[in-house]
Chains A and B, each alone.
Chain A
Amino acid sequence: MKHWLAALAVFVFAIGGVSAQEKAPDVLVKDVTNEVLEIVRSDKDIRNGNTRKTIDLVESKVLPHFNFQRMTQLALGKEARKASPEQMAVLVNEFRALLVRTYSSALTQYRTQEVVFKPFKPDATRPDDAVVVCQIKQSGGKPIDLVYNLEKTASGWKVYDMIVGGVSLVTNYRSSFSQEIQGNGMDGLISSLQAKNKSAETRQQSK
């Protein structure tokens, strides 16, 4: 029943790199996935869990295609309007650091699982929104669906949500964020995010 947790472990990273401005959303996701996985497969350090190197890979190849502003707003839900522009800027920064570390640690778990892309079906009623679905095959289990939600922006298609085995890595934070905000205010959430990121950095350096 905890299989979605296992899904996180083989959670593959897509999106990134190359001058993808003109690319269709499905092509973009596919190209970046293949590029990143190719690097992971051939890099012993990453597979052995070298966090710094993995974060660098994610920063350079993947991040340019993520919209962290939108992700942060999605994670905050209706609480988002309570944040001042200054608070929002800090939140986006901290949430970004949290997601990048999560993605990177998931990427170091990737081994040789096969990734298959499902045929892309554009939704004519929502031309600026795209859903790209791929599947991670795993031995002895149901394949895990990995869904990317993208939106069209002036600088190309950007990912604003990733859903692994039915669990959104963005909205999964919503209820705990709102609980934190109701208990300790927006600044309370900011300081708990900062504390989390700081402790992760220290752990990483002490290794």
Chain B
Amino acid sequence: MLNMIKQRSGSVRKIVAVALMTVALGGCATSGNQKDPVEGFNRAMFAFNEGLDAVIIKPVAKGYDAVMPTPVRTGVTNFFGNIADLFIGVNNLLQGKPAEAASDIGRVLVNSTIGILGLIDVASDMGMEKHEEDFGQTFGRWGVGDGAYVVLPVFGPRTVRDTVGLVLDVKADPVANVDDVSTRNTLLALRMVDNRADLLPADKVIEEAALDKYAYIRDGYLQRRRSLIHDGNVPREQQD
């Protein structure tokens, strides 16, 4: 697990190479779905990720969820959320939304101090709403098309645009840039497990909902990203 995470940020370049190669190959492996020209490859990678999840990540997340008292769980989620807010603010600025950016930075200031190093999300209670932004969305905002859908190893669903965004996300991620290797790995592992634990309740719902889990998650991802780029207000002509 730790090894896997250690390799994570290091191998982003390789992943991107694979993704781009995949897209290049896409022309000859059409599956009928315009958004998903490399469905065969994607399904294989999806199955790989599902296996990894079932064998390692989910059991660890379940254990974590069972052992950790709720206030501690919330504290961990808030702590990483606070670190992310800084970079969400930068992305909001790049997207030409200074008011949102100011609110994000305000959140970091409030939560890092009154909220004790980000463990308590005081800012939300004060009415400074949390946002969700990343470089993939910033590119989308700038008019970059999303490109083909790709399933990356470990990282999961992306589009070509979001894969490029992901490289910058990782480069700018304060946690991935902690100098001390063992501290960094511990933090990355903790964040990953905490994120996965937050999603545990969703598993059952997805199982109930999906006729084809791969397609359900793909289409959900694409809808979700489109909504995020437009901050929830997708123009009518771009809706299905």
Contact = CB atoms under 8 A, between A and B. Distances in A.
B206 A8 contact: yes
B104 to A, nearest CB: 11
A5 B199 contact: yes
B205 A8 contact: yes
Interface centre among A98, A167, A174, by most chain B C-beta atoms within 10 angstroms, is A167
Contacts of A140: 74, 77-78, 81, 121, 130, 198
B201 A9 contact: yes
Contact of B224 (A10, A98, A166, A173): A166
Contact of B121 (A5, A139, A145): A139
A158 B201 CA distance: 28
B205 A106 contact: yes
Given A1-B156, A142-B130, A165-B227, A8 B202 contact: yes
B33 A167 contact: no
Interface in B59-110: 74, 77-78, 81
Contacts of A105: 204-205, 208
A169 B209 contact: yes
A105 B206 CA distance: 9
Contacts of A117: none
B206 A176 contact: no
Given A2-B156, A140-B77, A142-B129, A176 B212 contact: yes
Interface in B9-35: 32-33, 35
B50 interface: no
Contacts of A109: 201-202, 204-205
A166 B74 contact: no
A168 B223 contact: yes
Given A105-B208, A141-B77, A166-B224, A179 B202 contact: no
Interface in B121-155: 121, 124, 129-132, 134
A184 interface: no
Contacts of A142: 129-132
Contact of B223 (A77, A139, A166, A193): A166
Contacts of A65: none
Interface stretch (B40-48, B173-181, B213-221): B213-221
A9 B209 contact: no
Contact of B202 (A1, A5, A143, A175): A5
B220 A167 contact: yes
Given A98-B209, A109-B204, A6 B130 contact: no
Contacts of B227: 163, 165-167
A104 to B, nearest CB: 8
Contacts of B35: 175
B130 to A, nearest CB: 5
A52 interface: no
Given A140-B121, A175-B219, A9 B202 contact: yes
A73 interface: no
Given A166-B224, A174-B219, A174-B240, A2 B199 contact: yes
Contact of A139 (B74, B204, B205): B74
A193 to B, nearest CB: 7
A166 B201 contact: no
A193 B199 CA distance: 26
B205 A9 contact: yes
14 contacts: A1-B134, A1-B158, A4-B224, A6-B199, A9-B205, A11-B205, A109-B201, A166-B224, A166-B234, A167-B227, A172-B220, A173-B211, A175-B219, A182-B32
Which 3 A-B residue pairs are closest in the complex by CB-CB distance?
A166-B227, A140-B77, A9-B201
